[in-house]
Structure 1
Amino acid sequence: MDCIAGVSRKPWSLPFTAEPEEAAALRRIVRFHLGQWGLHDIIDAAQLCVTELVSNVINHVGTGTPTTLAVSMSGLRLRIEVHDPDTRALPTLVDAALEAESGRGMALVGAVADRWGVQLQEDRKVTWCELATGLPSDSGHSGGARVHRVETLLSVYGCEAARLRLAGFGALSVVEDAAIDLIADVLHWMRAHGRDVDEALERAESQFEVEAAEPENLPL
């Protein structure tokens, strides 16, 4: 996989004890990982799903249950799984307008996720959901044409050599260094052609802020 054009989204899992105070820590961990994966647009939905899946274990299996959160890519979808040892207490989906408490959390999951379900194994139950990412490929970036054009430029900035030197570790910082080199070179080019570098940076930042606020208006 090209170290610039591709993003490594390796599956990860985290054992924890099902306690109400664990939910906030898990949300922070999910936010961090999805930020590293470039999936900023679905962070809020993923955090909601994690909260409800964990709450389901607390409410229907019991506080203190040994549980595991697992996050991975399933094609172009983000897959979130919560594993618990009780194969009897199955989550159900009910009408969110009803007064019944049971199942309301899964109604929220069903509202934001593309799909969800339950898998029963010999020693555990896996409650899962999947969120659409909008990615062009499972190793690609979101961000539109501008991001793809920059990836093409970054591919000539020595990232492959650096990636090999680091043996695959710290790839994100390597790409960031390559991007900074690219920006610096553009500034050198502008100064060599008699342009005001500070003015160029201000104009670029202003244009970025406008386009970031209205992503649908990004030029192709």
Structure 2
Amino acid sequence: MQRKPWELAFLAEPEEVAALRRLLRLHLGVWGLHELVDAAQLCVTELVTNVVTHVGIGTPTRLAVTMNDAYLRIEVHDPDAKALPTLLSGTQRMPQLREAEAGRGLALVDAVADRWGVQLRADGKVTWCELRASLSSPYGHTGGPRVTRAEAILGLYGWAARKHPERGDEAHLLSAVAGRMPAIEVIADILHWLHAHGHDPDDALDCAQTRFEAEIEVA
């Protein structure tokens, strides 16, 4: 699954937060990261609210969302490098904060995120946080090693299909390496291979179905 970085420029207004939360939910749904939606929305809400409160309403701000290995990374960019959100040293999760610098919001981010921080830049600062996803790689799925292997096979299959222009639109579909039809095409080709080598495709399907159902029950 290609999880391409995306970003959005906006003005830091209280009414923008709801729209950003909806947009984030949509993107994470497409990325298959449903389990991170609530935590990610909370982090975006607090990071953007921090800009509204401590930098100013109407501040030109930018939200950037990427994958950093198996972590979802959320960044909020603003032009003020002075008011730095900082946790008191020597504190644990949900610590007391310097109210003038951060406030309650950073405590919530600190509580739900696996890690967070601030980067100073020539044009301002970036406040970021990262949430651990249940992925084996930035482009993997959450279904375990079998799903990861299947994705790799579909990727190779899509590459091979593009080498056969006679397949026309089908090659374009397979190049996406996503969705139901590419998987059906892979299964159909394997059944053709079994038939060509004297094996019973129905027996192979029955065996595969039995193994699948047994492993689903165990999981």
Supply the distance in 2 between the matched residues of 1:123 and 1:61 (Cα, whole angstroms).
14
2:64·2:74 contact (CA, 8 Å) conserved in 1? yes
Map 1:1-220 onto structure 2 (within 5 A): 7-93=1-87, 102-148=102-148, 150-151=150-151, 154=154, 158=158, 160-161=160-161, 174-176=177-179, 177-181=181-185, 217-218=218-219
Let me know the Cα RMSD of the aligned residues.
Answer: 4.1
Distance (Å, rounded) in 1 between the aligned partners of 2:75 and 2:163: 31
Cα contact 1:113–1:131 (8 A) shared by 2: yes
Look up the equivalent residue of 1:175 and give its one-letter code.
Answer: A
Alpha-carbon distance in 1 for matches of 2:117, 2:163: 38
Contact 1:18–1:67 (Cα < 8 Å) also in 2? yes
- Conservation of the 8 A alpha-carbon contact between 1:159 and 1:175: no
CA distance in 2, matches of 1:73, 1:170: 25
Unpaired segments ≥5 residues, structure 2:
191-200, 204-212
Q: Secondary structure at the match of 2:13?
A: coil
% identical aligned pairs = 58
CA distance in structure 2 between the aligned counterparts of 1:90 and 1:130, rounded to whole angstroms:
18
The DSSP-based 3-state class of the residue aligned with 1:49 is helix
TM-score (norm 1): 0.70
CA 1:87 to 1:97, structure 2 compared with 1: closer, same or farther past 3 Å?
closer
How many residue pairs are counted as aligned between the two chains?
A: 200
Conserved 8 A contact 1:163-1:171: no
Going from structure 1 to structure 2, the CA distance change for 1:164 and 1:141 (only over 3 Å counts) comes to farther
1:180, CA displacement in angstroms? 4.7
Q: Deviations over 1:74-127 (max 9, x none)?
A: 222111110011111111336858696852100000011111111111111110
Aligned CA distance change for structure 1 residues 184 and 54 (closer, same or farther; 3 Å): farther
Q: Name whichever of 92-101 and 139-148 sits farther off.
A: 92-101
CA change 1:171–1:122 in 2 (3 A) is farther
Amino acid at match of 2:113: A
Q: For residues 53 and 163 of structure 1, what CA distance do their matches in structure 2 show? A: 47
